[in-house]
Structures are given as C-alpha cells and as structure tokens.
Amino acid sequence: MRKQIAAANWKMNLTLKEGLKLINEILEAKIFMEPTQEAVFAVPFPYLIDTKNAIADTPNFYVAAQNCASEKQGAYTGETSAQMINSINIPYVIIGHSERREYYQETNEILAKKINLALANNLTPIFCCGESLKIRQSDKQNEYVQKQLGESLFHLSEEQISKTIIAYEPIWAIGTGLTASSEQAQEMHAHIRKILADKYGSVVAENISILYGGSVKAINAVDIFSQPDVDGGLVGGASLVANEFITIIKSLKKIQ
C-alpha cells in the first residue's frame, strides 16, 4: 500500500522562531491521519533538530532535509552529508529539486550519487523530476522525465527503488501560480508509474508514492490528490501558511 504524503518544502524561508510558530499552529489543529498518510516538513538545516523535537509526539509527522552532499565526507566546506542527516535521526531528504538543478548545476549524474548516499545512510529520498515550460511546449516532457529517472534512479535495485519517493514538479508550475491541471498531473504520474513498471515490474511500481508539486494550494489540493496516480504533494509557498497546509494535509486521499 503506497503512502499518501503532504510534504512541506520551506526552501530558504522563515526564521527559526517563525518556523516553530508555524509548526505549532499546524499541531494545534490536531489533524486526524490515517495510518497510510504522512505530513513531512522539509526545513532548513539549522532547524532540523528543533522541528523534529516539536513534532516528536505527533504520529505520522516527519522531518526532511532539503538536500544532501554528493560526496560521502571530507573537505567540502559548507556541505552536509547524508550520514550527518541520518545521525540526527532525520528520515527524509529531498534530492534534485529543480532549484538545485538550475541554480547549483546539479546534473542527473550528481543526483545519482546523492541518491546512493541517501539510501546507504537509511534516508528516504524524495527525488524530484519535471520539465521546463519550453520542453512542455514542444511536447517532449515524457521523454525528458524518463531520462531524469533513468539517469539518476535506474541503477538502483528493486529494494532501493521501493524505498524512494518521487515528486513530479513541472518547473513552469513552481511558485508561478500556474498549476498543472489535475489531468496533466495524472497523465505524467501514470507515465512515471509505467516507466517504473517497465523497469521494476508492476508490483514495485504500484507501491511507489509519486507526489505532485507546483503551486499546490488549499483550493486545488483535493482535485489534484484525488487523481489515481497522485499520492500527495510537495508544497512550497502554501506550506508557509498554517491554514493552507492544514487543509492540504486534510486533502490527502484516504486509502483503507
């Protein structure tokens, strides 16, 4: 049974005080979660431990790092390794967000190294993929996403890919207010699941959570999450507003 996940990606926003206030407002809502549902908070590195402590008593709430280094350890000033993240008991890490790909030149090859290190250190990677507007306009999005998955993930074993979460985030919908329609999201998610099934078999593919990201908000979450191959969302802007994110968590599908 695949998990339904509402993942907040705070990016480089909020002070620690503001972040903890936001978390507390969300906790105060006492959201009922099914066993198959999770809320994940990808917060800046300096807030990981405090955020983890704040949610410690809340079942189905988890914390994620937003990135990890592509090297194991050593003289890499300013980097944070997968092992370090695991050593403070953080279970998730986002890998390959389009902002990392675009502003920090992270290639599919570099991301393959990060994925390996994340899995080797017991972190669950949330692997992001998705096309630019130009690629979408030339109708090449399916091949483009297939290449991203192939080059960063398809060296993984069946056991490893089963531990990985995928987030489809069309770049043209991130932070722009433009959302892929629920049909566009479903179409790509079904395509991703088919690529996974062709490579790893349908049982494995059926059990991998595929999140949608790109201007998910309280107002469109139910529509997007109700699509059969959409297993929740990776949410930027709207995750910074307590009531928005509370509604987004409540919009996750209920799978018994």
Which residue in this structure is represented by tokens 């899995």?
Answer: 119
36 belongs to the binding site for ligand PGA (CB under 6 A): no
Which of these is catalytic: 99, 106, 169, 244? 169
Which residue in this structure is represented by tokens 């206030």?
Answer: 21
Secondary structure element (H or E) that encloses residue 62, with its range: strand 61-65
d(CA 109, CA 14): 31
214 belongs to the binding site for ligand PGA (CB under 6 A): yes
44 belongs to the binding site for ligand PGA (CB under 6 A): no
Judged by beta carbon, residue 19 or residue 214, the one nearer ligand PGA is 214
Q: Give the residue from 22, 90, 98, 95 showing the smallest Cα distance to 56.
A: 90
237 belongs to the binding site for ligand PGA (CB under 6 A): yes
By CB under 6 A, which span of 28-36, 76-84, 141-149, 212-220 interacts with ligand PGA? 212-220
| C-alpha dihedral, 122 to 189 to 26 to 118, nearest 10° | 20
Length reported for the chain: 256
Burial of 38 (0-12, 13-18, 19+ CB in 10 A): buried
Judged by beta carbon, residue 102 or residue 206, the one nearer ligand PGA is 102
Return the CA Rg of the chain: 17
Residue 34 is among the residues annotated as catalytic for this protein: no
Contacts (CB under 6 A) with ligand PGA, residues 171-200: 174-175
Residue 98 one-letter amino acid: S
Over the window 135 to 174, marking each residue x when it contacts ligand PGA by CB under 6 A and - when it does not, the resulting string is ----------------------------------x----x
By CB under 6 A, which span of 22-30, 56-64, 73-81, 210-218 interacts with ligand PGA? 210-218
Judged by beta carbon, residue 112 or residue 126, the one nearer ligand PGA is 126
249 belongs to the binding site for ligand PGA (CB under 6 A): no
Which of these is catalytic: 97, 106, 189, 244? 97
Tokens, residue 249: 């968590």
d(CA 59, CA 87): 21
d(CA 198, CA 211): 20
Which residue in this structure is represented by tokens 């398809």?
Answer: 154
- As measured in angstroms, the least distance from the Cβ of 50 to ligand PGA is 22
40 belongs to the binding site for ligand PGA (CB under 6 A): no
By CB under 6 A, which span of 46-54, 110-118, 131-139, 228-236 interacts with ligand PGA? 228-236
Q: Residue 39's beta-bridge partner residues?
A: 6, 61
**Which residues contact ligand PGA by CB under 6 A?**
9, 169, 174-175, 213-216, 234-238
Catalytic residues: 97, 169
